[in-house]
Structure 1
Amino acid sequence: MFLDPAATPGFKRTLFNAIVAPRPIGWISTINGKGQVNLAPFSHFNLVSTSPPVVIFSCNAPADRHEKDTIANVRETGEFVTNLATWDLREPMNLSSMNAPYGTDEFELAGLEKAPSVMVKPPRVAASPASMECRLLRIVDIEPTGPGETFSNVVFGRIVGVHLDERFVDANGNFDTARAEPLTRMDGNRYSTVGRMDILGRPSPRRD
């Protein structure tokens, strides 16, 4: 079976997102110049470099404005925080995705407590077991080129501080990902967490 994305109805949600899955969720908190806080989840999120430590998230422009509030805030202040969304936090994460008027505090909307950051101004999700403070490196704007496509923004941020809940750090100083049960996005509105796991060491060159 061969599919042309431009000629396949529903490719974006029913096929593309189902193939590139599960996807980690970047639960991004930002603040604007007036001190108004925003919190929103993004399932197009990942790390792109470990040294220097860099994360990336992206989103499409909403139907009612040029760009999402998160992008507008990052452009204005150059800062954001990624908060680990977990299985236990799936309901407040979902509430924070609501299309709300600009300036709405999604922390309050989702019943979440704020925690102060150290290196940046946006607050953290206090209940999250891991948060990473970031400073903006660059925003790459992707222009639509075909019918039905929307404007997209890709954000690169350098990690300048990390907060960990010590309950999820083992005796060796490693973060226990499986115990934290990170929430991941599947296809459509389906979410999941850690499933089967295995340990695979890096293979060595064969010596005959």
Structure 2
Amino acid sequence: MDYAASDLTPRERYKVLTSFILPRPIAWVTTVGPTGVVNAAPFSFFNAFCEDPPLCMFAANRKPDGKDKDTFLNIQRTGEFVVNIADEPLAKAMHESSGDFPPDIGEPDYLGLKLAASKTVAVPRLADTPWAMECKLWKMIDVNDDRRLIMGEGLHFYIRDELWDDKAMRVHMDRYHPIGRMFADRYCRTDDRLVFPAAEGVKGT
């Protein structure tokens, strides 16, 4: 079975992409609204793309009613956000934060999530997250006027102490249990892992 992308509706393309490009990491993005309300929303069209400077990108589409999402509006106004990563204990709250909350109700407050002050931006991180990156807006790209690609430059990293070997600069994978996005309401655990020796390539004769 094969499709020309131009023969599919946007919704059908979305289903093809999200059904097979998986599992996807999830950016649980915190921002601050104009009245100081802290917003937290998950985005699974997300990844990190560069280390010098450290850049990440996520896609924020409009709401079904055509209005802009709070995350986009807050970043457009302040130029700051924090990408938090959810692990298994936070998975349910992360999923619930994807609901349609009015701007005056912050998801962390509503869901009982603790906040912690960031070092370099005014936006707080989620206190219990295993990893977070404080970001300033690097670039924003408008796509068809219904989705924005938001690129952030990482200014500061937070890592939960027990997850990191700071001498080897390596994560303790037996202690780190991030959640991945599949499709629809499905997520995956990441504890079933494979390890392969380093590939050597083809040697000349």
Residue 178 of structure 2 aligns to a residue in which SS?
Answer: coil
* 1:199 paired residue number: 196
Q: Which of 180, 183, 187 does residue 183 from structure 2 map onto?
A: 187
Higher mean C-alpha displacement, 3-12 vs 157-166: 3-12
* 1:114 paired residue number: 115
Higher mean C-alpha displacement, 191-200 vs 112-121: 191-200
* 1:78 paired residue number: 79
Paired residues for 1:34-73 under 5 Å:
34-73=35-74
* 1:154 paired residue number: 149
Structure 2 CA distance for partners of 1:179 and 1:197, relative to 1, 3 Å: farther
Give, in angstroms, the shift of residue 12 of structure 1: 4.0
Per-residue CA deviation, residues 132-156 of structure 1 (Å, 9 max, x unaligned), is: 1000011101006xxxxxx111000
Give, in angstroms, the shift of residue 173 of structure 1: 3.2
Give, in angstroms, the shift of residue 34 of structure 1: 2.7
Higher mean C-alpha displacement, 151-160 vs 8-17: 8-17
Per-residue CA deviation, residues 153-178 of structure 1 (Å, 9 max, x unaligned), is: 10000000001111111362312345
Question: Which AA in structure 1 matches 2:196?
Answer: I
Structure 2 CA distance for partners of 1:158 and 1:200, relative to 1, 3 Å: farther
Structure 2 CA distance for partners of 1:184 and 1:159, relative to 1, 3 Å: same
Give, in angstroms, the shift of residue 37 of structure 1: 1.1
User: Please, what TM-score do these two structures have when normalized by structure 1?
Assistant: 0.89
Q: Which of 146, 154, 163 does residue 158 from structure 2 map onto?
A: 163
Higher mean C-alpha displacement, 87-96 vs 62-71: 62-71
Kept after mapping to 2: 8 A contact 1:60/1:152? yes
2: CA distance between counterparts of 1:57 and 1:178? 28
Structure 2 CA distance for partners of 1:85 and 1:162, relative to 1, 3 Å: same
Kept after mapping to 2: 8 A contact 1:87/1:193? yes
- Percent sequence identity is 30
Structure 2 CA distance for partners of 1:64 and 1:41, relative to 1, 3 Å: same
Give, in angstroms, the shift of residue 181 of structure 1: 1.1
Question: Which AA in structure 2 matches 1:161?
Answer: H
* 1:148 paired residue number: none
Structure 2 CA distance for partners of 1:121 and 1:199, relative to 1, 3 Å: farther
Residue 157 of structure 1 aligns to a residue in which SS?
Answer: strand
Question: Which AA in structure 2 matches 1:127?
Answer: D
* 2:3 paired residue number: 3
Kept after mapping to 2: 8 A contact 1:93/1:110? no
Structure 2 CA distance for partners of 1:202 and 1:121, relative to 1, 3 Å: farther
Unmatched segments (≥5 aa) in structure 1: 145-150
Unmatched segments (≥5 aa) in structure 2: none
Question: Which AA in structure 2 matches 1:174?
Answer: R
Per-residue CA deviation, residues 35-88 of structure 1 (Å, 9 max, x unaligned), is: 221100000110010111101011221123432110100000000001111122
Residue 23 of structure 1 aligns to a residue in which SS?
Answer: coil
